[in-house]
Chains A and B, each alone.
Chain A
Amino acid sequence: GENVEQHPSTLSVQEGDSAVIKCTYSDSASNYFPWYKQELGKRPQLIIDIRSNVGEKKDQRIAVTLNKTAKHFSLHITETQPEDSAVYFCAASKSGGSNYKLTFGKGTLLTVNP
């Protein structure tokens, strides 16, 4: 089955700096890659997603890049703010198959220091 590795497990940056979180996946048939933000005690919140027919997607300060050949994708947050502090999860699934099971990475705890 699919396996998703996520790095780093913790990341501390100064406010205004950029943050990058990287994930690799094992199943070359995976074609949908969402990113979720989970604040302490709250639900995972979908912040951005990318499909395999696109190499990069941007939404304001957040961008995701995908390298299908290398089977890795990354989340980029620019101009970080203290409210960006949370745990971020990457996930992968095979869209269009019999079901849409999401396989998650173990998460990255991002701390933005004011």
Chain B
Amino acid sequence: ETGVTQSPTHLIKTRGQQVTLRCSSQSGHNTVSWYQQALGQGPQFIFQYYREEENGRGNFPPRFSGLQFPNYSSELNVNALELDDSALYLCASSPGGDTQYFGPGTRLTVL
């Protein structure tokens, strides 16, 4: 098991609501990435944070935003939820460089 944890495990929201997902990286891992995994698909890159600064973004709208904190934790915020936002959200931490270790994910269902 990696030292990456995520909360909550599952979440149900209604269209139009806002949600915050949390990730705790391994100590010393200064890079965190967030991915969206739709059912039956590979993870898709949302964005990456390095030393609390956004360090790259995928093809996701601005209503997807994030934060990284000095204590190796991070957040993914999604505003104005849409039905298509229903997915498994994964964070992955890295000690610097390319190797990424995934957390268990948060299953978000939007009704």
Listed in ascending order, the chain A residues whose CB lies under 8 Å from chain B are 4, 6, 32, 34, 36, 42-46, 49, 89, 91, 93, 95, 98-107
Contact = CB atoms under 8 A, between A and B. Distances in A.
Contact of B99 (A49, A103, A104, A106): A49
30 contacts: A6-B42, A32-B98, A43-B90, A43-B104, A46-B101, A46-B102, A49-B99, A89-B42, A91-B42, A99-B50, A99-B55, A100-B31, A100-B48, A100-B94, A100-B98, A100-B100, A101-B56, A101-B58, A102-B33, A102-B35, A102-B45, A102-B92, A102-B100, A103-B45, A104-B42, A105-B42, A106-B42, A107-B40, A107-B41, A107-B42
Interface of B: 2, 4, 31, 33, 35, 40-45, 48, 50, 55-56, 58, 90, 92, 94, 97-105
A98 B48 CA distance: 10
Contacts of A46: 99-102
A101 B33 contact: yes
A34 B2 CA distance: 16
A6 B94 CA distance: 25
Contacts of A6: 42
Nearest to A99: B56
Contacts, number: 65
A89 B4 CA distance: 19
A61 to B, nearest CB: 21
B93 to A, nearest CB: 11
Nearest to A44: B102
Given A101-B45, A103-B45, A95 B105 contact: no
A42 B102 CA distance: 10
Given A43-B2, A43-B102, 7 more contacts: A45-B102, A93-B98, A100-B31, A100-B97, A100-B98, A102-B35, A107-B40
